[in-house]
Amino acid sequence: MKDLFKDLNEIQKQAVSTTEGPLMIIAGAGSGKTRVLTYRIAHLIEKGIDSFNILALTFTNKAAREMKERISSLIGGTEAKNLWMGTFHSVFARILRAEAHKLGFPSNFTIYDSQDSVNVIKKLISEMQLDSDIYKPKQVLGRISSYKNNLITVRAYFNNPELIEADQAAMKPKIGEIYKAYVERCFKSGAMDFDDLLLRTNELLTRFPEVLAKYQDRFRYIMVDEYQDTNHSQYLIVKALASRFENICVVGDDAQSIYAFRGANIRNILDFQKDYSDAKIIPLEQNYRSTQIIVEAANEVIAKNRDQLEKNVWTQNNEGDKIPLYRALSDADEANYVAAEIFNLKLTQQKRNKDFAILYRTNAQSRAIEEALRKKNIAYQVYGGLSFYQRKEIKDLLAYLRVLVNPRDQEALLRIINYPARGIGNTTLNKLIVGADQQDQSINEILENIELLGQAIGLNKPTIEKLANFWTMIKSFQVLLKTEDVYEVAMKVAITSGILKTLKEDDTPEGISRVENVQELMNSLQGFVDEQRQLEDGDPSLNYFLENIALASDLDNGNEEDDKVSLMTIHLAKGLEFPVVFIVGLEENLFPSQMSLNTRQELEEERRLFYVALTRAEKKAYFTYATTRFRWGKIVDGEPSRFLEEINNKHLEILNIEFKGSTKNRSGLDSDLFDGDFSPRYPKGPNPKYQNKQEPPRSPQNLKPISNAKLTHPVGGSLSDLKLGDHVLHDRFGKGIVKSIEGDPENAKALIDFENEGEKKLLLKFAKLKILN
């Protein structure tokens, strides 16, 4: 235990020690927000508040994990054990599992990701014989999502003439019908989508006062991070839970609100004082992260926004380097510049790969950069984009696992019923779907009794046979699940179902990488089982594994120890910091995005996004833009982003152009603005015409990012002579010291204090520990 207050400045101390009553902390970029939150929780626990009574909601699972670790290393011991900390989605998914039966859901309900949702909608649209050109599944889902986030249920929708008229005016009068069918289908499948996790929580808390009372009583101290990015649904949950004790602390920065597109409502933070009239407001304005130049440049840009709270972010840090601005001839040239610069800084300033981040507006921009980094042999990690768990081969295998847990999950069932091909075609499927509908049963129930019901719904003998075989196989997996661990079952599924065999038949590079991906999934299952078993309160169930991956973000999959350059969208970079940050693609119509140029609000969100990007940098930031770029398969011309002009030139180091910052004349084909004088400091990229000819074959390493679980073998042999004070090494948690050992030799547990992860109780039987002495 240490003196919590000595690491804090005066204002931070106030924020930490104000524990009672509503509190809003307006935390400017880099002002030590995470530190304040962790210290505040540690302080609460030290004061004697049971960690059981504390709820902390974060924006990513990664943030939650890191904070929890920091808290336990601050206060030591296991006092923080009962602390609930996680994203809205994961915390309330857990609560919903416990209470699901009240809402008519099974407790092992499936969580649909957006892909699943779109697929369901697509099927519904075709079942309803609607034109999918008018009802674009993605758009429809977006519409439904925004209803849900604003707590407009199906019934509320049909009671609201304005909404109906709006959809009619948009020539989409059937939206309500689709919404209704979608909700019913999800319910029937025992599934919730992302928005449901919040909407159903609201339903739970309003319909069952005793449930509300229970959680109100439990969560006496509530903290919400990134409050500026909460949506209405989240806002109502927080408000309901906090209304009894009103010990609610929200932390946020209106200047960093970047999720309006998915329903985030900046009013939540702007109106906090209206909701809690005795709320205290504490502004954290001193930036500890970035150089003066970075802070000033960021302030200059954000000042152009109209909607914001008054705030003055400042720093005592060094002035730092000016921000280089590089004008590239093409996206390839831009990428080569970035790669060359990283190469140089590594040589001249002993920087490591992981000191660098390259941030872009859209995922598609990573391609060119990846190529340039590969040419220079710089290790990198791309976050986001098509995630590992969205790959087809992975989704297929996961669909099997999902059906084992929740046989009602129709989406998963239909995905695998004829994969690998087993002669169950569309005709059969249609009969099944129609039959299930007529009998008012779900498809799995039909399959359960296929021998009896098969003929009734018009199936012939051989088909019934095939379906029965399929279902017998699924049931055998379910039996296996009772005795074997998740990894064993998944392995069995992959082999018995024929998935592995089918994939292995394809020996093209893509096919090989698919097999590797499945192997990788197996590794991560193995890792999951190992890790959960080692933890005293671990949960190695398949159900928990599936929930974890459904709610995992791509950030959760990186491996901190790897020395790699990070590539990600600016959205993903929120909350992170890096010594050197490249912000690339600073062009009009790209950043700000052309989709955002219609309204002031949208443009202001882009500007906040730029602010977030720039304030990720600690020591040095770089700007680049390209005058031509490959987009939609065409070369398009680009002009420098307006955000560049909003920065005072004295903060920029303009490399290879005459850049007239404040000029308003951006219309001329920039020949008069930027003539000649390309600095020869860096080699030019290849002529865009040729750039795809040389694409090196994608090495498999780059295709399997994700799992950090490597198949490891137990080290060190017998641990029976492990004793107090021993230094040990764990392949996941790192170095630690043995604090205590308990239990009989067969099931001995050891409490180990890890240097970086805090204390953990491990089962020696499973823990792969190496004694270091």
Number of residues that bind DNA (CB under 7 A): 50
Are 273 and 279 a contacting pair, CB within 8 Å?
A: yes
Q: Check the annotation: does 32 bind a ligand.
A: yes
Q: What is the phi/psi pair of residue 732, to 5°?
A: -110, -40
Q: Which of 285, 407, 403, 391 has the alpha carbon at shortest distance from 9?
A: 285
555 binds DNA (CB under 7 A): yes
Please report the beta strands in 596-733, taking only residues with DSSP state E, as ranges in sequence order: 617-626, 628-631, 634-637, 652-654, 727-730
Is 133 or 440 the residue whose CB approaches DNA more closely?
A: 133
Angle of helix 175-188 versus helix 114-127 axis, rounded to 10: 120
Is 89 or 564 the residue whose CB approaches DNA more closely?
A: 89
Q: Check the annotation: does 230 bind a ligand.
A: no
The alpha carbon of 570 is separated from its chain's Cα centroid by a whole number of angstroms, namely: 13
Q: List the one residue from 2, 261, 303, 318 that touches DNA (CB under 7 A).
A: 261
Q: Check the annotation: does 243 bind a ligand.
A: no
Alpha-carbon distance of 555 to 563, in angstroms, equals 15
Is 517 or 543 the residue whose CB approaches DNA more closely?
A: 517
- The minimum distance between CB 460 and DNA, in angstroms, equals 10
- The minimum distance between CB 140 and DNA, in angstroms, equals 11
* Local structure of 124: helix, strand or coil: helix
Q: List the one residue from 12, 315, 381, 463 that touches DNA (CB under 7 A).
A: 463
- The minimum distance between CB 574 and DNA, in angstroms, equals 9
- The minimum distance between CB 130 and DNA, in angstroms, equals 13
Q: List the one residue from 427, 559, 663, 702 that touches DNA (CB under 7 A).
A: 427
Strand partners, 23: 249, 280
- Taking CB under 7 A as the binding criterion, the range among 17-25, 68-76, 254-262, 266-274 that sits at the site for DNA is 254-262
Are 553 and 60 a contacting pair, CB within 8 Å?
A: yes
* Local structure of 759: helix, strand or coil: strand
Are 325 and 655 a contacting pair, CB within 8 Å?
A: yes
Burial class (CB in 10 A: 0-12, 13-18, 19+), 437: middle
148-167 footprint of DNA as x/- string (CB under 7 A): --------------------
Q: Which of 198, 270, 207, 281 has the alpha carbon at shortest distance from 234?
A: 198
388-407 footprint of DNA as x/- string (CB under 7 A): ----x---------------
Q: List the one residue from 60, 256, 497, 532 that touches DNA (CB under 7 A).
A: 60
Are 747 and 765 a contacting pair, CB within 8 Å?
A: yes
Q: List the one residue from 424, 491, 729, 748 that touches DNA (CB under 7 A).
A: 424
What's the Cα-to-Cα distance from 351 to each of 342, 354, 378, 567, 753, rounded to whole Å?
8, 8, 12, 17, 31
Q: Which of 12, 73, 56, 63 has the alpha carbon at shortest distance from 576?
A: 63
Contacts (CB under 7 A) with DNA, residues 613-642: 630-633
551 binds DNA (CB under 7 A): yes
| DSSP for residue 720 | T
572 binds DNA (CB under 7 A): yes
Active-site positions read 33-34, 225-226, 256, 616
370 binds DNA (CB under 7 A): no
Q: List the one residue from 180, 262, 533, 684 that touches DNA (CB under 7 A).
A: 262
Q: List the one residue from 362, 519, 649, 708 that touches DNA (CB under 7 A).
A: 362
- The minimum distance between CB 689 and DNA, in angstroms, equals 9
734 binds DNA (CB under 7 A): no
Which stretches of the chain bind DNA, using CB under 7 A? 59-61, 87-90, 113-114, 122, 133, 136, 138, 194, 258, 261-262, 361-364, 384, 392, 418, 421-428, 463, 551, 553-555, 569, 571-572, 593-596, 630-633, 692, 695
**Which residues define the annotated binding site?**
27-34
**Which residues define the annotated binding site for ATP?**
27-34
